[in-house]
């Protein structure tokens, strides 16, 4: 792992006014890996993703994507630089159709042929979306919506994918499918994934490395198997 990291967060201090939610957090994700970000509610996991994608401005630190510092840039510019953020919960635009949601994800690409190819790819990979392409996204089930937001995030051909609680509210069988999908995206598309999860067991099952946040600081950082085997860590922070 001597490559330049696809995503490097360096010594970030960030928050919403008041005390910092993240206090000196660093993460380094080599290309083509899944990094699980774990920790209890309020540990700062979502804030970490929102800081990387530009919705929260860090007070200190750098966010390097392919070597370029994107910290303090606007969210739309960070997205255009190849960072796709799938937010927790309702990221689907319910008033638009399935296909419009997908097309929206590809608009950063100027080339029409590449947009069309991305749409074909999405339908090939996710036949369930092809079946429902003309329907309002509001009619999709929770699992289908999660697939749609991930598929939409892929439409721009991102280098880095930020996933916030993709398993939230899904049935266990669907969680397994979503985790399989994330693993496939790494293995087949070489995507670099930062995966925020409450469901630590599932996340560590597919991740290469992991880190545990507590009260805004990194309390553990290791490869996924080692973290999963650490009984003390599991009992204190991971809940399994």
Select 108 or 189, whichever has its Cβ closest to another protein: 108
Q: With binding defined as CB under 8 A, does residue 59 bind another protein?
A: no
Q: Which residue has the tokens 């092809």?
A: 130
Select 155 or 238, whichever has its Cβ closest to another protein: 155
Q: With binding defined as CB under 8 A, does residue 189 bind another protein?
A: no
CA-to-CA distance for 208 and 71, rounded, in angstroms?
25
Select 80 or 235, whichever has its Cβ closest to another protein: 80
User: How many other CB atoms are there within 10 angstroms of residue 203's CB atom?
Assistant: 28
Q: Judge whether 130 and 123 are in contact, CB under 8 Å.
A: yes
Least separation in angstroms between residue 148's CB and another protein is: 12
Least separation in angstroms between residue 211's CB and another protein is: 23
What x-and-dash track marks residues 104-123 binding another protein by CB under 8 A?
xx-xx---------------
Q: Judge whether 100 and 69 are in contact, CB under 8 Å.
A: no
Select 11 or 76, whichever has its Cβ closest to another protein: 76
Q: What are phi and psi of 233, to 5 degrees?
A: -60, -45
Select 27 or 149, whichever has its Cβ closest to another protein: 149
> How big is the chain, counted in residues?
240
Q: With binding defined as CB under 8 A, does residue 145 bind another protein?
A: no
Burial class (CB in 10 A: 0-12, 13-18, 19+), 86: buried
Q: Which of 27, 43, 65, 79 binds another protein (CB under 8 A)?
A: 79
195 strand-pairing partners:
36, 163
Q: Which of 45, 125, 132, 152 binds another protein (CB under 8 A)?
A: 152
Please report, in angstroms and rounded to a whole number, the separation of the first and last CA atoms in the chain: 29
Least separation in angstroms between residue 228's CB and another protein is: 31
Burial class (CB in 10 A: 0-12, 13-18, 19+), 134: exposed
Least separation in angstroms between residue 93's CB and another protein is: 5
Select 132 or 152, whichever has its Cβ closest to another protein: 152
Q: With binding defined as CB under 8 A, does residue 205 bind another protein?
A: no
Q: Which of 57, 59, 80, 114 binds another protein (CB under 8 A)?
A: 80
Q: What are phi and psi of 237, to 5 degrees?
A: -120, -25
Angle between helices 98-106 and 112-125 (to 10 degrees): 130
Q: With binding defined as CB under 8 A, does residue 166 bind another protein?
A: no
Q: Which of 13, 40, 64, 93 binds another protein (CB under 8 A)?
A: 93
Q: Judge whether 210 and 36 are in contact, CB under 8 Å.
A: yes
Q: Where are the alpha helices (DSSP H) in 126-234?
A: 127-131, 142-154, 172-189, 200-206, 224-229, 231-233
Interacting residue ranges for another protein, rule: CB under 8 A:
53, 55, 74-77, 79-80, 84-85, 87, 91, 93-96, 100, 103-105, 107-108, 152, 156
């Amino acid at each position: 792992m001597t490559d330049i990291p696809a995503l490097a967060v360096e010594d970030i201090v960030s928050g919403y006014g008041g005390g910092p939610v993240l206090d000196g957090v660093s993460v380094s994700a080599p290309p083509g890996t899944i990094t699980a970000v774990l920790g209890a509610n309020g540990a700062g996991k979502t804030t970490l993703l929102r800081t990387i994608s530009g919705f929260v401005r860090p007070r200190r630190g750098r966010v390097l994507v392919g070597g370029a510092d994107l910290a303090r840039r606007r969210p739309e510019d960070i997205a255009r630089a190849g960072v796709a953020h799938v937010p927790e919960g309702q990221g689907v635009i319910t008033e638009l159709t399935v296909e419009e949601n997908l097309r929206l994800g590809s608009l950063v690409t100027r080339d029409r042929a590449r947009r069309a190819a991305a749409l074909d790819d999405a339908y090939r990979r996710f036949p369930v979306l092809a079946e429902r392409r003309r329907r309002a996204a509001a009619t999709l089930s929770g699992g289908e919506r999660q697939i749609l937001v991930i598929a939409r995030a892929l439409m721009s051909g991102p280098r880095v994918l930020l996933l916030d609680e993709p398993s939230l509210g899904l049935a266990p069988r669907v969680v397994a499918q979503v985790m399989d999908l994330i693993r496939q995206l790494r293995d087949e598309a070489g995507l670099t994934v930062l995966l925020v999860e409450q469901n630590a067991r599932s996340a560590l099952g597919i991740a290469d490395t992991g880190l545990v946040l507590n009260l805004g600081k990194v309390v553990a950082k290791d490869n996924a198997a080692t973290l999963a085997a650490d009984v003390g860590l599991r009992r204190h922070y991971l809940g399994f």
